[in-house]
Amino acid sequence: MAILEIKEVTSGYGDVQILWGSTLSLEKGKLTCLVGGNGVGKTTLLRTVMGLLRPWSGTILFEGRDVSKLPAYAKADMGLVLVPEGRQLFTDMSVYENLEMGATNQRARPNFAKNIERVYEMFPRLKERGGQKAGTLSGGEQQMLAVARGIMADPTVLIIDELSLGLAPVLVLQLFESLKLLREEGMTLLLVEQNVQLALAISDYGFVLAEGKTELEGPARQLIKNKHVRAAYLGL
């Protein structure tokens, strides 16, 4: 069953159209990835899905309900959560306060204690650094905090934009392991990555975005063998 369906969405900034009909659907409980080169509109698509940008046309269904026109803050209440590109932490607030802010939405508030235990278990560093300002953390710790803040929102669908960007490979693998854990717990995940190989390697299903349109889709195992994907994105 598809929990999030994006159908023929177009959008952009001002007069500049970026998305020319993006279609994507997420199966419940699966780890899906959306890959594509730099500047093809991945982040724009996510901003549109979340309601930070208005879709010009097309529909976005979440749990069967049309959410295309809902503002971003209402999406968090429904369980649709984005870990944005570049972390977008509250850098002047403490690590703990960032986690608190993550649990702002109505669904997450009652589960605060359970969720914070879960993220501390996943990222013990964050517990040690609870009182520190988020802006003073190292890049890796900041990315952990961004993911942890997303988990604090108690999502049913967690979308992560560019998890691997600027991180050491060891850390990336560690974060990917945490994502697998979340999937095992039943969370639906969408991973948006420029690192195509890595993303396809851990995902169940994949979409390839090119020039603002969905170019290819299929089980990740098949995409990784696809000739076009190998030539265009994997350099093979």
Partner 1 sequence: MQQINILLASLPDGILLGFVYGLAAMGLTLIWGVMNVINLSHGPIIALGMFGTFFLFTRLNLNPYAGLIPVAIMGLLLGVLIYVIAVHRVINAPHLSSLLATFSVNMIIIGLGTAVLTTSPYNVDFSAGSFKLGSATLLGTRLIAALVAMLFTGGLYLFLYRTRPGKFIRAVANNRSAAELMGVPSTRILALSFGLGTMLAAVSGALIATFFPFNILSGGSYELKSFVIGVLGGLGNPIGALFGGLILGMIEGIIPAFLEQSWVPVIEFGLFVLILLVRPSGLFGAKK
- Chain positions contacting partner 1, by CB under 8 A: 50, 52, 71-77, 81-82, 84, 88-93, 97, 100-102, 104-106, 108, 135, 149, 153
Q: How far is the CB of 72 from partner 1 (least distance, A)?
A: 4
Q: How far is the CB of 25 from partner 1 (least distance, A)?
A: 22
DSSP 33-89: EEE--TTSSHHHHHHHHHTSS--SEEEEEETTEE-TT--HHHHHHHTEEEE-TT---
Q: How far is the CB of 151 from partner 1 (least distance, A)?
A: 12
For partner 1, the closer of residues 57 and 88 by Cβ is 88
Amino acid at 54: R
Q: How far apart are CA 60 and CA 50, in angstroms?
A: 10
For partner 1, the closer of residues 57 and 106 by Cβ is 106
Q: How far is the CB of 119 from partner 1 (least distance, A)?
A: 14
Q: How far is the CB of 93 from partner 1 (least distance, A)?
A: 6
Q: 20-55 in b/e burial notation, b at 16+ Cβ within 10 A? A: eebebbbeebbbbbbbbeeebbbbbbbbbbbbebeb
Q: How far apart are CA 220 and CA 33, in angstroms?
A: 8
Q: In this structure, how many other beta carbons lie within 10 angstroms of the beta carbon of residue 56?
A: 13
Total length of the chain: 236
Q: How far is the CB of 134 from partner 1 (least distance, A)?
A: 9
Task: Tell me the Cα Rg of the chain.
Answer: 17
For partner 1, the closer of residues 98 and 203 by Cβ is 98
Tokens 């990555």 sit at which residue?
193
For partner 1, the closer of residues 81 and 175 by Cβ is 81
Q: How far is the CB of 80 from partner 1 (least distance, A)?
A: 10
For partner 1, the closer of residues 40 and 81 by Cβ is 81
What is the enclosing helix (H) or strand (E) of 22?
strand 16-27
Q: Are 197 and 165 in contact (CB under 8 A)?
A: no
For partner 1, the closer of residues 105 and 156 by Cβ is 105
For partner 1, the closer of residues 31 and 76 by Cβ is 76
